[in-house]
Amino acid sequence: MAELAQPPPRFREIARGKLGDARVQVALDEATDRLRTNRERAWAELPDIQELRQRAHEIRMAVIDDLDVHVARFTAALESRGGRVFLAQTAEEASAYVADVCRRRGAKLAAKSKSMVSEEIGLNAALEAVGVKPVETDLGEYILQLAGEHPVHIVAPAIEKTAGQVAELLSAAGGKRVPPELEALTNAARTQLRETFLKAEVGITGANFAVSETGSICLVTNEGNARLVSSLPPVHVAIMGMERLVPTVADLSVLLRLLARSGTGQRLTVYTTLLTGPRRLGERDGPEEQHVVILDNGRTNLLRGRYREMLACIRCGACLNVCPVYRKTGGAAYSDVYSGPMGAVLLPLLVGLQEAPSLPHASSLCGACTDACPVKIPLHELLLDLRRDLVAEGVAPWWERAGFWLWSWAWSRPAGYRLTTRLARLGQPLAGLLGPGRAWARGRALPRFGRRYRDRR
């Protein structure tokens, strides 16, 4: 079961493990460098990129301003096409609805394509509890499901796994030895999963976007699994966060031009699919039933406050690839679902600061995430605001608040400032041995003050 809440030691413990693992560090460096360079190249190709980002921001915020109107419009449009819409307030309601659809159809096997929201609501565990076997079909997610692990990156879920590890997992799953070579591994997964596509009674996908005017959902993938999952089984269920809506197909066009370029650096992913209701009269394939589950799960709490911009997120992963914290810790430290700067903002908002007090601190506030965000969410400013809330709500410990009060008092007067620099120079030999200095010095060297520090005052 996916876990959204973050007890304080989680970040530290997992991050420390990842920092000490040389192989994981290389994997993270390579993957995030590649994805970042790809995005920068793809953005540079667009002469109007800054204008496009601004338009995308405005489109997303317009939906958030009138979210209830858009949900109603989407529902009416999809129902007129024969689809069914279910509004779920909580993760439990959403999972129970999907489980019920499976039960009504007597389903034993559900084929899934990558969906962060299904991870968020812990759908797989809920399906298993009622005797339905969910099989992930995205290659990375399938590997993780076989390993009993969770995604560590939004667009590259299994970046920490080696070909050797994948070979072991696929060999065990297929009962046949698979060599650790890319082509053999891909073919093995293709063969193993083909049966799932053909046999599953229910197909479950997420939704990258949904268009309120037309009642369509938009799926973006490279492998083709989302198309298979939404085309072959007799029932298709799509689960989406309620903020995925965009007003029109013209607005969708703006966001699609940004999503793939920001996520992987492609102009478009291999498959961009717009689904509008179930199979129509005379069609030979496609689902007989289509359900769209629209999930709230804490999102409406964000609608009116200063964190509303976080709902504009299009889950491209660009902020992860540039974050100096994510690039060292990887995704697992943050949560089983969302990670990096977007996760560090979103998770405390969904589960409450009390449940995720370390995440607002998982940032150097350098602002690289904000610069990389295609929909211009001021991520590092939101992280700073969350830190302020940690203090205001009394979640931050007393010594942290006392320390900052003392620091602010000293640095607002020249004598106090001089005193701290003198103390800093005197205390320098001890700094790496105790308190926060010790924690900081673990894994890196403390900076040394220059001799002429006082002269630069």
Partner 1 sequence: MRLVEDFVANAEAVGCHVHRGAAPQIEGAGVSTALYGLADTGSVVLAAGPEEPRANSLLPEVHVTLLREDRILPGLDELFAAVGNDLPSALAIVTGPSRSADIEQKLAVGVHGPREVHVVLLADG
- Applying CB under 8 A, among 208, 269, 358, 370 the residue interacting with partner 1 is 269
The region of 123-131, 151-159, 199-207, 443-451 touching partner 1 under the rule CB under 8 A is 151-159
258 counts as binding partner 1 under rule CB under 8 A: no
- Tokens 């650790």 belong to residue: 180
Closer CB to partner 1, 50 or 408, in the complex: 50
Contacts of 410 (CB under 8 A, 6+ apart): 416, 417, 419, 420
Closer CB to partner 1, 55 or 361, in the complex: 55
Query: How far is CA 214 from its chain centroid?
Result: 27
40 counts as binding partner 1 under rule CB under 8 A: no
Q: How far is the CB of 372 from partner 1 (least distance, A)?
A: 18
Q: What residues pair up with 241 in beta bridges, in sequence order? A: 295
- Applying CB under 8 A, among 66, 213, 355, 400 the residue interacting with partner 1 is 213
Q: Round to whole Å and give the CA distance between 252 and 248.
A: 6
249 counts as binding partner 1 under rule CB under 8 A: yes
Q: How far is the CB of 252 from partner 1 (least distance, A)?
A: 7
Closer CB to partner 1, 290 or 329, in the complex: 290
Closer CB to partner 1, 17 or 286, in the complex: 286
Q: How far is the CB of 49 from partner 1 (least distance, A)?
A: 15
333, 15 contact by CB (below 8 A): yes
Number of H helices, E strands in the chain: 20, 10
Q: How far is the CB of 262 from partner 1 (least distance, A)?
A: 15
Q: How far is the CB of 183 from partner 1 (least distance, A)?
A: 7
Closer CB to partner 1, 215 or 348, in the complex: 215
User: Which DSSP letter does residue 431 get?
Assistant: H
Closer CB to partner 1, 15 or 156, in the complex: 156
68 counts as binding partner 1 under rule CB under 8 A: no
Q: Which residues of 238-262 are buried (b: 16+ CB within 10 A; e: fewer)?
A: bbbbbbbbbbeeebbebbbbbbbbb
* Subset of 79-98 contacting partner 1 (CB under 8 A): 81
25 counts as binding partner 1 under rule CB under 8 A: no
Quickly list H helices, 200-232.
225-231
- Applying CB under 8 A, among 76, 163, 402, 419 the residue interacting with partner 1 is 163
- Number of residues in contact with partner 1 under rule CB under 8 A: 67
Q: How far is the CB of 331 from partner 1 (least distance, A)?
A: 14
- Applying CB under 8 A, among 127, 238, 252, 377 the residue interacting with partner 1 is 252
CB atoms within 10 A of CB 325: 21
- Applying CB under 8 A, among 2, 15, 85, 189 the residue interacting with partner 1 is 189
- Applying CB under 8 A, among 53, 73, 227, 327 the residue interacting with partner 1 is 227
Q: How far is the CB of 319 from partner 1 (least distance, A)?
A: 18
Q: Round to whole Å and give the CA distance between 111 and 151.
A: 18
User: Which DSSP letter does residue 309 get?
Assistant: G
177 counts as binding partner 1 under rule CB under 8 A: no
Considering only CA atoms, which of 178, 192, 233, 213 is closest in space to residue 63? 213
Q: How far is the CB of 116 from partner 1 (least distance, A)?
A: 15
* Subset of 105-144 contacting partner 1 (CB under 8 A): 137-140, 143
- Applying CB under 8 A, among 145, 273, 297, 321 the residue interacting with partner 1 is 273
382: exposed, middle or buried (Cβ count in 10 Å: 0-12, 13-18, 19+): buried
Closer CB to partner 1, 106 or 282, in the complex: 282
405, 330 contact by CB (below 8 A): no
Q: How far is the CB of 229 from partner 1 (least distance, A)?
A: 9
Return the HEC string of 141-161: HHHHHHHCCCCCCCCCCCCCC
- Tokens 């958030």 belong to residue: 64
* Subset of 275-294 contacting partner 1 (CB under 8 A): 275-286
183 counts as binding partner 1 under rule CB under 8 A: yes
268 counts as binding partner 1 under rule CB under 8 A: yes
- For helices 379-392 and 340-351, what crossing angle results, to 10°? 40
User: Which DSSP letter does residue 446 get?
Assistant: P
Closer CB to partner 1, 39 or 380, in the complex: 39
In the structure encoding, which two tokens stand for residue 163, read together? 């070909």
Up-side HSE of residue 101: CA atoms within 13 Å toward CB? 27
Distances (CA, A) of 67 to 46, 62, 82, 310: 30, 8, 22, 14
Considering only CA atoms, which of 263, 267, 362 is closest in space to residue 314? 263
Q: How far is the CB of 281 from partner 1 (least distance, A)?
A: 8
Where on the chain is the footprint of partner 1 (CB under 8 A)? 27, 30-31, 34, 81, 137-140, 143, 156-159, 161-163, 166, 182-183, 185-186, 189-190, 193-194, 197, 213-214, 216, 222-225, 227-228, 230-232, 249-250, 252-253, 256-257, 264, 266-286
